Amino acid sequence: MSKMVTIYGGSGFVGRYIARRMANAGWRVRVAVRRPNEAMFVKPYGVVGQVEPILCNIRDDASVAAAMRGADAVVNCVGVLNELGKNAFDAVQADGAERIARLAADQKIARMVHISAIGADAESVSAYSRTKAQGEAGVLAHMPDAVILRPSVIFGTEDQFFNRFAGMTRMGPFLPLVGADTRFQPVYVDDVAKAAVQGALGKAEAGIYELGGPEVKTFRALMDQMLGVIYRRRVIIGIPFFVARIMAGMLDIAKFASFQLFPNHILTRDQLKNLRRDNVVSEGAKGFDDLGIEPATLESILPDYLWKFRPSGQYDDIQNSANNLRT
């Protein structure tokens, strides 16, 4: 019988790519999510019955244990960028990660892969980064041979980074940025999935890997590159941190005052703390080279999914080609 992997958060941005690759490797895949009816799109990743979404609440021991029963490996992709309801940073990224590792150890599951983030730091002023580090510690306490992946900002077809800012270019001639000089090392989502699959298959040594793409650029430079891809001219305005702090504070107050009916997906005070720090691979850290993976460039991927933000969408290249024939 083929081996089985349980992927917590397996229908999310990163999880779906891992699920597809594990299915292609011949494994049975359980996609553990809060709303299985919204994850049915993963079923065609394999043959009938090979990939199955199942109900799981990462905050509940019984639910997490049931989802991994009989598995040979587990992968945790669950994380939150913005606290909402009971899905607080500590409940999901610290306690949730530790829970998966503890129960995996109880069930004597051989391998675990945990998706963390560059910047994870137990002493960080950011609750996001601090709970990421606490989650790593919880995983290693129970599964010392786990593979922990710390990606920089992840890009790909379903991302909430380039898609978000490309969408903003439709609203006017300006593109406001907080932390315009902060450096990032964007990594392609499927490259992160390749690394996770190596961990799940036992082809990667235990330890922490920091994953960044081949290019390190400032936030402003990334937006300039994006504007070139979507054929738009916009004035990039760097918003000073003291102004952004006031904005984020007001947005967080609105979230609290509305009893979270306004979820504040714009800018939180915690996100602002992270934007003050570069998000790049640390010197001497293990990374893609140690996994034998050559990460994809932005140039090779961005046009494949950002074309829809061009003034004429998929017809822009056709129009440009026709114009070249006239000249």
Contact 120, 134 (CB under 8 A): no
Number of domains, the chain: 1
Q: What are 31-64's pLDDT values in tens digits?
A: 999 999 999 999 999 999 999 999 999 999 999 9
In a domain, 46, yes or no: yes
In a domain, 53, yes or no: yes
What pLDDT is stored for residue 312 in this prediction? 84
What pLDDT is stored for residue 265 in this prediction? 92
Q: Could you tell me how far CA 24 lies from the centroid of its own chain?
A: 21
Contact 74, 110 (CB under 8 A): no
In a domain, 169, yes or no: no
Closest CA to 181 of 73, 299, 279: 279
In a domain, 130, yes or no: yes
Burial class (CB in 10 A: 0-12, 13-18, 19+), 156: buried
In a domain, 218, yes or no: no
Amino acid at position 142, single letter: H
What is the reported pTM? 0.95
Within 10 angstroms of residue 325's Cβ, the number of other Cβ atoms is 6
What pLDDT is stored for residue 314 in this prediction? 75
Domain of 285: which CATH number? 3.40.50.720
Residues of the chain with pLDDT under 50: none
In a domain, 273, yes or no: no
| 53 DSSP β-pair partners | 31
What pLDDT is stored for residue 141 in this prediction? 98
Q: Could you tell me how far CA 70 lies from the centroid of its own chain?
A: 27
Q: Whole-angstrom Cα distance, residue 136 to residue 101?
A: 10
In a domain, 222, yes or no: no
In a domain, 20, yes or no: yes
Amino acid at position 147, single letter: V
Give the residue numbers spanning the domain of 116. 4-155+187-212+279-295
